[in-house]
Structure 1
Amino acid sequence: MEKLYSIKIALVLACAGTGMFTCSFPAAAEEPVLHPADMNADWKVVLSEAVAYLSGWQQGSNPMNYAIRAAYIWQGGERYNYDAAEDPPLCWELQGPTPEITAFTINNDAVYTSNPTVTLNNEATNDPTEYIASGSSAFNGASWLPYDPAPVFSLSGSAITQRIYFKVRNGQGESSVKSDTIYLEPAMIPVSAGVFIMGGTGGGDDEQHGFPSEVPTHSVSLSSYLLGKYEVTTRQYCDVLNWAKAQGYLYRDNEGSPWAGEDDIYAGGAGYRYPIVDFSSTQCYLQYIRGLFVPTTRTGLPDETEYSMAEHPMVEVSWYGAVAFCNWLSQMLGQAPCYYLGADEWPLTVAPPSPGGYRLPTEAEWERAAAWDTSIPKHWIYGFMGDTNTGSDRCNDRNDGSFIDNPLGLTAYPLTSPVGWFDGVNISPNGNIPTVNSPSPVGAYDMSGNVNEWCQDWYTPYTAAPQTNPLGDSTGTQRSVRSGTWQSNYWGCRTAYRMFAGPSGMAGYQGFRLSRSSG
């Protein structure tokens, strides 16, 4: 029977568009109208629908020229549009082909970028008129824009692994979705070569609250380098951990048992494995879901808002965890790793000023970026170009010891703020306090308060002798720590204030930022 109808369809198709059928029907309506053969209202006439409508014509219930049009649409590819300017049945026109994306890359298939503004290189068939791009597979918040074979797109957030979704459309419909991934380098700030005076200023809060470890002041000459604009975020650490797990680099103990989704995390070569993340701590911002590390959430203000910890500093990370991140990020971005993880204490093998991948800042590099203002010149007492630290608008600390700033009003420790929170734009919901833009002299944020930051050096007492690119002692038991934390009294956030901790130490107030020799 279907074969018989196919023959009949062929016969009526031969007549379609010839004008030999001249039945008169009502004029086309303004609103789109489905062809009556389109039983499931999907703007398609498939073979079964065309056959059914032809059967109705044979039985005298369907108009012949409507039947011919149904057969014509099916034969022409099934899809059709409605043109209100034409009378039925010519108002139902064949739909042209939808566009398809034949090529899609970010920055011509580059591995990584340091610039969050990227180019979406694409090629598509069938004359697309618009495109849409988003970091969300659901295209949340994205809008259709006039088609461009190389539009620019702004990457958002601190994530290192950035996946962009892309599709195009024309009047006939949308293409399938394509995506590509690029690594976004953490924001780094250039610090020029020069000489600065390291140590306590001897005045103000340095005089009142300083310690013997902060003197004698001494001259330090540094080569140029790059410093992380922000503390490394939880999102960034998740991205690198996910990469490292895929390489088989993560263990659950120092014996080399593979990490399986719980317990603290270890890394390193055989015989030299150390703890890197206190994953079992309730203060850890990491969770492991469906085979991936992702940031946790915390409750805060207002009205028990659920905040993602993605843009908060990574905490519960040891010195070894900071070093492992530096090496793995270097590998991800095709840079030379600066540490050897197969020897005792993971030695620095590419030391400043030699160019290489990512590493921790030396204690001198940290203090120069936090305190030294070349335009005056001046050694600021606090890391936001200030000599006093009062109020809750410039850094996240414990003030005089009576209360913690806790800008988001988090209900459980750690009480961190998002990196770069004190930018003069954000308003802290805990007290509705407008922030003051608070970068260091080189433009780095949170160099006073929020979390302590690991430095490269073994902790070493100062001497008065001038130094060039100092690294501290070659051995030791304690690594240098700087910055002060969300639970430090105001004076503990001074740029000259020195702290130290064992390299395996992990806490909800301990994080780090990156450095890199600029060569």
Structure 2
Amino acid sequence: MLDRVRCVVVSVALTWLVVAAGCGVLGSCSSEVGAAAPPGMVRIPGGSFRMGCEDAEARPDERPVHQVRVKAFWMDAAPVTNDQFAAFVRATGYRTEAERPVDPATLRAQLPPGAKLPAVIPAGSLVFKAPVERRDLRSMTWNDWWEWVPGACWRHPEGPGSDLTGRGAHPVVQVSWNDAVAYARWAGKRLPTEAEWEFAARGGLSGKRYPWGDVARPSEVCCHNIWHGDFPYRDDNLDGFRGTSPVRSFPPNAFGLYDMAGNVWEWCHDWYRPDTYARRAPVQDPRGPAQGFDPDEPDLPKRVTRGGSYLCSAVFCAGYRTSARMKSSPDTGLCHTGFRCVRD
């Protein structure tokens, strides 16, 4: 409890610094800041910031650091929850991609020529499974801990036998980019651009590693839900959670946004390219490249995800750094990926 209190103190201090500075670190604040907030959303003032990272820990796709400007917008204070997504499904009858049988023709178009597929692929999704055999982490790939589980979907995140009991306030997972877009349109919103997401996550702190500063655990405080321990074998549960946590379980950043580091990866609007920043021309409200390209899987274009998740470890991806980028195919759901929405 004392650790959590310390984290709150850090968050409150940052909030007052941004307010006291008159948003000077961000550029001019929007004149609409005083407008009535849509339920569950906070106003993000427009401004400019240095996007990306040049630190030694930064991956090549986070470079070069470049100046970007974004207009003011509203953002969900927290990721969309299971309860919120359930309301959308009740109202529309929507079935997520993980709940629909996989079309072999569609899947074949995403795979190299000659790849063999079964005639029928049951509906399902990808679920994390800790490897049984211990190996050098450097020799492992995502295939070593992700498993296709028939029946896994947003209602059954870990597959048949799992459900949402007691998880109404947890972020919805096992939703694809396409599912997230469908929800956003129903709600009268949209997905954030990658630039909007990073600007909001920084909360006015220029060049910092995390939404609260440069230290992952200030004074041994856990300010986010990530993997603590021997990844991918043992999570020591230092943050109090295994798997997803209820949204707003940790203090917000200075803009009032929760879970901008850890808990679940969040879908963004943009297509993914590793050289996006090197190719970037627009500095005002960039919306990403026209097409996606991932050299690791050239036949499978991907969308950007941001923020890291409960499966992120300091010794593996450290995806909870504010500048860290990840990618996934837009029709794929995963047990550690959700989303939040924005509106203009």
Of 175, 190, 194, the match for 1:317: 175
Match of 2:29 in 1: none
Secondary structure in 2 matching 1:441: coil
TM-score (normalised: structure 1) = 0.43
Residue 440 (1) aligns with residue 311 (2): no
Which one-letter code corresponds to 1:236 in the other structure?
Q
How far 1:478 sits from its partner (Å)? 0.8
Of 47, 52, 63, the match for 1:199: 52
Cα deviation code 1:78-126 (max 9, x no counterpart)? xxxxxxxxxxxxxxxxxxxxxxxxxxxxxxxxxxxxxxxxxxxxxxxxx
Distance change in 2, residues 1:497/1:400 (3 Å): farther
Residue 496 (1) aligns with residue 323 (2): yes
Of 233, 237, 240, the match for 1:405: 237
Match of 1:54 in 2: none
Contact 1:404/1:487 (8 A) holds in 2:
no
Contact 1:448/1:484 (8 A) holds in 2:
yes
Match of 1:237 in 2: 85
Of 266, 272, 281, the match for 2:152: 281
Which one-letter code corresponds to 1:198 in the other structure?
M
Residue 482 (1) aligns with residue 306 (2): yes
| Percentage of matched positions with identical amino acids | 33
Which structure is higher in strand share?
1
Q: 1:372 and 1:282 mapped to 2: Cα distance? A: 33
Secondary structure in 1 matching 2:319: helix
Q: State how 1:40-439 maps to structure 2 within 5 Å.
A: 186-200=39-53, 202=54, 207-245=55-93, 252-253=100-101, 280-281=151-152, 284-285=155-156, 296-297=164-165, 308-330=166-188, 358-373=189-204, 378-383=206-211, 385-390=212-217, 391=220, 393-399=222-228, 401=230, 403-405=235-237, 407-410=239-242, 415-422=243-250, 437=251, 439=252
How far 1:380 sits from its partner (Å)? 2.2
How far 1:187 sits from its partner (Å)? 0.8
Q: 2:267 and 2:95 mapped to 1: Cα distance? A: 25
How far 1:451 sits from its partner (Å)? 0.5
Match of 2:15 in 1: none
Contact 1:285/1:314 (8 A) holds in 2:
no
Q: 1:400 and 1:368 mapped to 2: Cα distance? A: 30
Secondary structure in 2 matching 1:321: helix
Cα deviation code 1:114-139 (max 9, x no counterpart)? xxxxxxxxxxxxxxxxxxxxxxxxxx
How far 1:252 sits from its partner (Å)? 3.7
Which one-letter code corresponds to 1:454 in the other structure?
W
Match of 2:286 in 1: 470
Q: 2:271 and 2:183 mapped to 1: Cα distance? A: 19
How far 1:474 sits from its partner (Å)? 1.9
Which one-letter code corresponds to 1:315 in the other structure?
V
Q: 1:481 and 1:191 mapped to 2: Cα distance? A: 20
Contact 2:42/2:77 (8 A) holds in 1:
yes
How far 1:212 sits from its partner (Å)? 1.1
Q: 2:150 and 2:40 mapped to 1: Cα distance? A: 26
How far 1:296 sits from its partner (Å)? 1.5
TM-score (normalised: structure 2) = 0.63
How far 1:192 sits from its partner (Å)? 1.0
Relative contact order, higher structure (CA 8 A, sep 6+): 2
Q: 1:279 and 1:322 mapped to 2: Cα distance? A: 21
Q: 2:173 and 2:96 mapped to 1: Cα distance? A: 20
Equivalenced residues, count: 244
Q: 2:168 and 2:238 mapped to 1: Cα distance? A: 17
Q: 2:157 and 2:311 mapped to 1: Cα distance? A: 21
Q: 1:223 and 1:500 mapped to 2: Cα distance? A: 25
Q: 2:238 and 2:244 mapped to 1: Cα distance? A: 6
Contact 1:234/1:285 (8 A) holds in 2:
no
Which structure is higher in helix share?
2
Distance change in 2, residues 1:404/1:454 (3 Å): farther
Secondary structure in 1 matching 2:333: coil
List gaps (5 residues or longer) in structure 2: 1-36, 104-121, 126-148, 293-300
Q: 1:319 and 1:404 mapped to 2: Cα distance? A: 31
Cα deviation code 1:157-208 (max 9, x no counterpart)? xxxxxxxxxxxxxxxxxxxxxxxxxxx96511101111111011x3xxxx24
Contact 2:210/2:321 (8 A) holds in 1:
yes
The structure whose Rg is larger is 1
Cα deviation code 1:339-363 (max 9, x no counterpart)? xxxxxxxxxxxxxxxxxxx000000
Contact 1:279/1:286 (8 A) holds in 2:
no
Contact 1:190/1:224 (8 A) holds in 2:
yes
Secondary structure in 2 matching 1:213: helix
RMSD: 3.1
Q: 2:96 and 2:304 mapped to 1: Cα distance? A: 26
